Amino acid sequence: MKDKNVHKEFDYTIPRKDGSAFYLKLRQSRKNPLDFSAILGYSPKELNSVFKLTRYNGKSHEHRNVLDKEPAFYEFHIHKARALTDLEYN
């Protein structure tokens, strides 16, 4: 992992034969090991964008899921793309 200002980071690209690619991005705070994110993304060949398919977050902050309108909580949590509207929202 590369050392950044206050966190460590790792990026990995998995190219596909059709020109699209999957992306893996890991980030972890150097001060708080529970402050982390692991993101799996996808980039279609014809677009210059990465769509976040899923993101795993550590137990480091209060979280509120605005799409599901659930109350805020302080726990490990996972974000998952469910439809095109979710991909556009993130």
Averaged pLDDT score across all residues of the chain: 83
CA distance 19 to 57: 29
Gap between the Cα atoms of 17 and 35, Å rounded = 35
Using CA atoms, how far apart are residues 8 and 16, in angstroms rounded to an integer? 27
pLDDT-based confidence at 85, cuts 50/70/90?
low
Taking only the tens place, the pLDDT of each residue in 29-39 is 998 888 889 99
The predicted-structure confidence for 37-65, as pLDDT tens digits, reads as follows 999 999 998 888 888 999 899 888 777 76
